[in-house]
Structures are given as C-alpha cells and as structure tokens.
Amino acid sequence: MTALPFPDESFGAFLFDMDGTILSSIAAAERVWAAWAMRHGVDVASFLPTIHGRRASETIRQLNLPEIDLAAEVAALAQAEIDDIDGIESIAGAVAFLDALPADRWAIVTSAPRRLALRRLEAAALPVPRLLITGEDVSYGKPAPDCFLLAADRLGQAPRDCLVFEDAPAGIQAAEAAGARVVVVTATHAHRVETPHPTIAGYGHFAPRIDAVGRLTLAGIATPSINGL
C-alpha cells in the first residue's frame, strides 16, 4: 500500500510543477539540450542533469560561455522544444487527479515559457489550469520562491497553506523557500531520491477531496486485487 502524504492535514490550494511532475518530457528535453550542448562544446553527460527545473536563461548563464547572445539562444531552444514533443506523456493518474480539483484551487507553476508549457500540456492530454505561472511571469526563477509566491497570491492563499508537487531539486528548494509543504513526485527519477518530504511515484493511488470546511485533502484509493478481494 502506497503511503498517503499528509494524511491529517488540509490545504488551501495545490501547486504543480509541470515537467517530471504531471508529465514526462525528459527524453524530448534532453534531445534538444544535448544537441545545443554539442554545438557549444559543452560536455553533454555532465550538463544534462543540470537542465531540469530551471529556466533556460539561468541554465545557460551558469555556464559562463563567452560571446553568447542569451536571448537568441533561449528563443531558439524554446522553439526546438516546442517542435519536439515525441514521447511526451502524462504521469500515471495525473489527468484524473487534476480533473477532480476545483478550478480555483490549483495551478501549474513551471520554469518553461508559456508557449512551451501549453504545447506540452496539449501533447500529454492534460487540462490547462485557470492559473498557469511560467518562467516568463517572474524576475527570478526556481530555486527562488517567486513563482510559488505568485501562484499562491493569485489563488488568494497563504504560501504555507499550499501543497506543492515537485520533482526537481531547484523546484523543491523554491517551494521550501516559499514556506509551502512539498510532495516529491518520483515517476521520472532513475535513482532513489533522498528527501525529507513525502514521495509518490504517481497519482493513481490518490484523489483530492474537499473536507467539511472547504479545504483540500488527499485521500487514498484502494486498488482491487486480481481476485477481487
């Protein structure tokens, strides 16, 4: 039986990272970034683990490459990622989980630009939320808390009343800095995650519920055995 995260707590809103949290885009993203890295003489094997959860501008800036047009590189990468959606799919159970949430009580908070986020949500057949916070909406991207603080504010919730679903270290740090609770989604992780936060492999064993005072909670879903017992 999968352990239920925060079984005795309730929340004002749920905030979801996108890539690696509600959909898997690792193969597509790494194809695009690997090609970019090779063009710029960057070691692909050591570089690819650093791309996840951060805005492209901050990922490139940390390399300190000489004579690079940052805006042009970011725009080209975004278009390449928009063009490559092969293999993008939703995390198990994510569609049903998101569909069950009240529209004014959840948001997607991603480092991706808006056009790319919408493209990937469409490719994964995931619902587009009423509130979508992207890397273009804040001055400082993850691991800064700005994106989660903005999402909480626009939903009319205190950050401490929000539960953040994340998968990448930069996003987890951003949620912690915002003062939110965190669930780490491990569906796309190749190795065991060391984290003090609860973890889930997907959403198939859980469902959102509204309690008697209108707060969001997580409920477990029993999985029938083969013989129905």
Report, as residue numbers or ranges, the catalytic residues: 17, 19
Distances in Å between the Cα of 184 and the Cα atoms of 1, 9, 83, 177, 187 are 18, 17, 29, 15, 9
Q: Which residues contact 191 (CB under 8 A, 6 or more apart)?
A: none
Q: What span, in angstroms and rounded, lies between the C-alpha atoms of 45 and 147?
A: 29
Is 116 in contact with 78 (CB distance < 8 Å)?
yes
